[in-house]
Structure 1
Amino acid sequence: MSNNPHFLVMPYPILGHMNPLLQFSHVLIKYGCRITFLISEYIQKRVKIPSDDDAGSSKIDFVALPDGLDPEDDRSDQPKVILSMRNTMPPKLHKLIEDINNGLDFENKISCILVSKNIGWALEVGNNLGIKGAFLWPASATSLASYYSIQTLIDQGIIDSQTGLPIRRQEFQLLPNSPMMDTANLPWCSLGKNFFHHMAEDTQTMKSFGGWWLCNTTCDLEPGALEISSQFLPIGPLMEATDDSNNKSSSFWQEDTTCLEWLDQQQPQSVVYVSFGSLAVMESNQFKELALALDLIDKPFLWVVRTGSNGNNAYPDEFEGSKGKIVGWCPQKKVMNHPAIACFVSHCGWNSTVEGVCGGVPFLCWPHFSDQFVNKAYICDFWKVGLEVERDHESGLVSRGEIKKKVEELVGNEEIKARSVKLKEVTLNNLVEGGRSSKNLDKFINWTKDY
């Protein structure tokens, strides 16, 4: 087998999975690895495939397979997408791998399949072809540990074995040296019992066929979670290892880079950055409160408003927006490291959390669903680098006054700022030569070569 492994990289087809696996592909390329990157035909038609001008993309072969759904099907229905892929794609993947390998000499054949969650079945396909498998978890290691612990949670009477829902609402500590978790915020609770059973099955498949469970984290960020299994291998933070040029991108979505020029015109630590990731949709009244809060705050703002992310609601008539810049998507890693950023109003998705930590930026936490509540607990309670917004008990909204108050409190808190800078330093130290994540990457690459 060649000293330069050939990876078939297969993310689940949503942006929060595709971008981390693309970023990790760039890391693998720096180690001399060859990458074939598999996406669905539906996604292929709707995203910006990184070109030869982007980071490492000239060394990535992009291929596509159908996901089994019709063009008009609702792909925001994640359980539907998961089931369709699992039912229709395995034989297609088997044939694709055979076709790729038949065109290559022995030393260049696919040597490892790397997947994200929801498609553990792909590792079994690879195993049947004699190909090693590994798994990159796009969320926190703590959320991965919760899936890993499903049977333990059932045995302890914390969740129901049929639905995955809590027997009763309570706070519990999943692991030593980690924040308390609310049973209502277990990452599968809002997605239905079919998704729960899928993830229980997917986790068992990964235990059987996934040699390493790679995590975009560090021992400093999530020490307790990484102790749950010797399969967990922290290789983060990915973002800093991949983005070494201001002109290169590792995103499947078109980024509006004019925001960087705008940031260059702002004072240091003056800009409130607002982004809720690739999935969250904001209800119209809440969108209005946020818009008017940004007018009220005596600071410029950079606000990412995805098409459709506000339910296609119009901006309120009284919204001026003159102090800010609104974009559809932005190069967030670069934004996080721009000296003009004062704080990050965030949904607390894990990719955004890692990027904020690596920018040394304080967080105003506004979690929406799934593991975002646990990530908020790390930010506010464990690392102590952020504050959380509180909803009005009567309206259920986060008011404009609450947003303004918390932003002002956050940017005026020198202790939080200092802890944010220190956490950045500690986190990035994992990537230097001899750092723990750097050593783990070496371990993983050498494992793929060991035949």
Structure 2
Amino acid sequence: MQKMGTQHVMVLPFPAQGHVNPLMSFSKRLTQHGFRVTFVNTDFIHKRVVSATNEEVNLEGSAVRLVSVPDGLGPMDDRIDTASMCSAILRAMPSAIERLIKDMNGGSEKISAMVADLNMAWALEIAHELGLKGVVFCPSSAAIFALQDNIPKLIQDGILDNHGIPIIEEKFQLSPTMPFLETTNIPWCTIGDTTVQKTIYDYLARYMNVTHLTNWWICSTTSELEYGALSLCPKILPIGPILMESGDDKLRSLGQFWEEDLSCLNWLDQQPPCSIIYIAFGSTTFFYPNQLKELALGLGLTKKPFLWVVRDDASDNTKITYLDEFEGNRGKIVKWAPQQKVLSHPAIACFFSLCGWNSIMEGVTNGVPFLCWPYFADQLFNKAYICDVWKVGLGFDLDDRGLIPHWEIKKKVDQLLGDENMRGRSQKLKEMIVRNIAEGGESYENFKKFEEWLRK
């Protein structure tokens, strides 16, 4: 590691697992280039991260400092309620962030720049007013950033009304080089009812209106993966994938909301190459018992070993006994896994995924094909890249109950694992990405350019 410099960067993630994780990985990258980082979580997320941290983790002397501010919600409020969270954030966090910066800049810990998660880009106004350099970091795809940047055009073209709600139900393209998107699958239109969607859209419009305060829009992607989106929105600088390196156990754990069960790595070591189905559905997905049962039955029909991540809050309490009995000798169930390490393990054959952007980047970087099970938000659009553009995965069809039935699961597992061309394309995508992030590659050089600007 280079000698630590005097530049001090504040990093501000949106309070959700899929945002804290990549921003922590990005912070680690900054420290490798000699920067100090103050990482600002909400009080609620800070407590979760600390409680999930392995006891051996010691941050003394680390270039990353953890601090927290209130999110505006009470201790018993539902933080899965995105609309309430967005409203509370705008009430409480701007003044808290401003006070934090002023307090730090009044002492010896002066902040010189702020890196704001795209979903927290309202903070650019604070950075601008206090004379800090401002940067937007997009932890989702460039396509989603481009979609939000083109909202005025979508309103002008009669696709959205002034509240961000679709006027028509049809497919549209942002550009001829990008996949089609259903208006019903526009990310903020997949959450709650119309009132909720309008609240989320208002929050989104609020932060998008200030992204012009910086020329640095950086994204965890590559030009080969998202040529169309980056051509449509050339201001976005691809520096990805931004992933935590395998040896960074100390900082990796600080991006997690649950303690990782490392026993699954020893279990994987005992399995043959390309033999294990890995199933992980992120940090917020809830399964109704009938869908959970169909998934378990489908895995049973495949007669293939599996590693399945099932959070305690992923379904109701009846799941615990049922899945303990189901696990048997052929599979392993854990509450949370070190996903990057799992996906890089030679025993993994494929990845059942919600298609969150971080999981996609981890999967494609390791050459793993996907079985796509999107839930909401950007996941539905991300699936189109996996299945239709890169052609490294398959989706599922619903039955007349609105469920993915067990026979459909078996069918798609057999189809995916029997397709050597699918694995071949996955490996080619991996090779392309590895070249990109290696010295001299586009993402490497783009990050170098950004780092030099930040240091000036």
Q: Same fold (TM over 0.5)?
A: yes
Q: Does the CA-based 8 Å contact 1:86-1:119 persist in structure 2?
A: no
Q: Distance in 1 between matches of 2:67 and 2:415?
A: 48
Q: Please give the per-residue CA displacement for 1:281-301, whole angstroms capped at 9, x wherever unaligned.
A: 111110111112122212110
Question: 1:99 matched to which residue of 2?
Answer: 103
- 2:204 is the counterpart of 1:202: no
Question: 1:189 matched to which residue of 2?
Answer: 189
Give the 3-state SS of the residue equivalent to 2:273 in structure 1. Answer: coil
With over 3 angstroms needed to count, the CA separation of the structure-2 counterparts of 1:57 and 1:260, relative to structure 1, is farther
Give the 3-state SS of the residue equivalent to 1:119 in structure 2. Answer: helix
Q: Distance in 1 between matches of 2:140 and 2:374?
A: 14
Give the 3-state SS of the residue equivalent to 1:309 in structure 2. Answer: coil
Q: CA deviation at 1:447?
A: 1.7
Which aligned pairs between 1:395-406 and structure 2 lie closer than 5 A? 395-406=401-412
Give the 3-state SS of the residue equivalent to 2:131 in structure 1. Answer: coil
Give the 3-state SS of the residue equivalent to 1:118 in structure 2. Answer: helix
Give the 3-state SS of the residue equivalent to 2:103 in structure 1. Answer: helix
Q: Distance in 1 between matches of 2:294 and 2:358?
A: 26
Q: Does the CA-based 8 Å contact 1:360-1:423 persist in structure 2?
A: yes
Q: Does the CA-based 8 Å contact 2:142-2:221 persist in structure 1?
A: yes
Q: Does the CA-based 8 Å contact 2:215-2:235 persist in structure 1?
A: yes
Which aligned pairs between 1:245-284 and structure 2 lie closer than 5 A? 245=247, 247-248=249-250, 250=252, 251-253=255-257, 254-284=259-289
Question: 1:228 matched to which residue of 2?
Answer: 232
Q: Is the helix fraction higher in 1 or 2? A: 2
User: Which of 325, 329, 346 is the matching residue for 2:332?
Assistant: 325
Q: Distance in 1 between matches of 2:14 and 2:121?
A: 10
- 2:1 is the counterpart of 1:22: no
Q: Please give the per-residue CA displacement for 1:306-348, whole angstroms capped at 9, x wherever unaligned.
A: 1211244425759532210001110100111100001101111
- 2:388 is the counterpart of 1:381: yes
With over 3 angstroms needed to count, the CA separation of the structure-2 counterparts of 1:95 and 1:249, relative to structure 1, is closer
Q: Please give the per-residue CA displacement for 1:353-387, whole angstroms capped at 9, x wherever unaligned.
A: 11110110110111111111111110011000011
- 2:310 is the counterpart of 1:305: yes
Q: CA deviation at 1:214?
A: 1.2
Q: Distance in 2 between matches of 1:438 and 1:141?
A: 17
Q: Please give the per-residue CA displacement for 1:62-87, whole angstroms capped at 9, x wherever unaligned.
A: 11111122111111111211211211
Q: CA deviation at 1:252?
A: 2.3
Question: 1:441 matched to which residue of 2?
Answer: 447
Question: 2:148 matched to which residue of 1?
Answer: 147
The two structures have a TM-score, normalised by structure 2, of 0.92
Q: Distance in 1 between matches of 2:92 and 2:59?
A: 32
With over 3 angstroms needed to count, the CA separation of the structure-2 counterparts of 1:27 and 1:246, relative to structure 1, is closer
Q: Which moved more, 1:174-183 or 1:324-333?
A: 174-183
Give the 3-state SS of the residue equivalent to 2:118 in structure 1. Answer: coil
The two structures have a TM-score, normalised by structure 1, of 0.93
Give the 3-state SS of the residue equivalent to 1:20 in structure 2. Answer: helix
Question: 1:160 matched to which residue of 2?
Answer: 161
Q: Distance in 1 between matches of 2:37 and 2:335?
A: 29
Question: 1:422 matched to which residue of 2?
Answer: 428
With over 3 angstroms needed to count, the CA separation of the structure-2 counterparts of 1:56 and 1:326, relative to structure 1, is farther
| Paired residue type of 1:126 | A
Give the 3-state SS of the residue equivalent to 1:113 in structure 2. Answer: strand
Task: Output the aligned Cα RMSD.
Answer: 2.0
With over 3 angstroms needed to count, the CA separation of the structure-2 counterparts of 1:45 and 1:414, relative to structure 1, is same
Q: Does the CA-based 8 Å contact 1:9-1:115 persist in structure 2?
A: yes
Q: Kindly, what percent of the aligned residue pairs are identical? A: 45
Q: Does the CA-based 8 Å contact 1:26-1:56 persist in structure 2?
A: no
Question: 2:179 matched to which residue of 1?
Answer: 179
| Paired residue type of 2:120 | I
Give the 3-state SS of the residue equivalent to 1:439 in structure 2. Answer: helix
Q: Please give the per-residue CA displacement for 1:231-288, whole angstroms capped at 9, x wherever unaligned.
A: 211110111xx31417555132311110000000111100000011112111111011
With over 3 angstroms needed to count, the CA separation of the structure-2 counterparts of 1:10 and 1:317, relative to structure 1, is closer
Give the 3-state SS of the residue equivalent to 1:256 in structure 2. Answer: coil
Q: Does the CA-based 8 Å contact 1:216-1:236 persist in structure 2?
A: yes
With over 3 angstroms needed to count, the CA separation of the structure-2 counterparts of 1:356 and 1:55, relative to structure 1, is farther
With over 3 angstroms needed to count, the CA separation of the structure-2 counterparts of 1:143 and 1:386, relative to structure 1, is same
Q: CA deviation at 1:182?
A: 1.2
Q: Please give the per-residue CA displacement for 1:106-136, whole angstroms capped at 9, x wherever unaligned.
A: xx62111111133222111111100011111
Q: CA deviation at 1:57?
A: 8.1
Q: CA deviation at 1:190?
A: 2.2
Which ranges in structure 1 are unaligned for 5 or more consecutive residues? none
Q: Please give the per-residue CA displacement for 1:392-428, whole angstroms capped at 9, x wherever unaligned.
A: 1x21110111101110110110000000000011012
| Paired residue type of 2:313 | G
| Paired residue type of 1:92 | A
Q: CA deviation at 1:229?
A: 2.8
Q: Does the CA-based 8 Å contact 2:35-2:63 persist in structure 1?
A: no
With over 3 angstroms needed to count, the CA separation of the structure-2 counterparts of 1:278 and 1:142, relative to structure 1, is same
With over 3 angstroms needed to count, the CA separation of the structure-2 counterparts of 1:115 and 1:310, relative to structure 1, is same
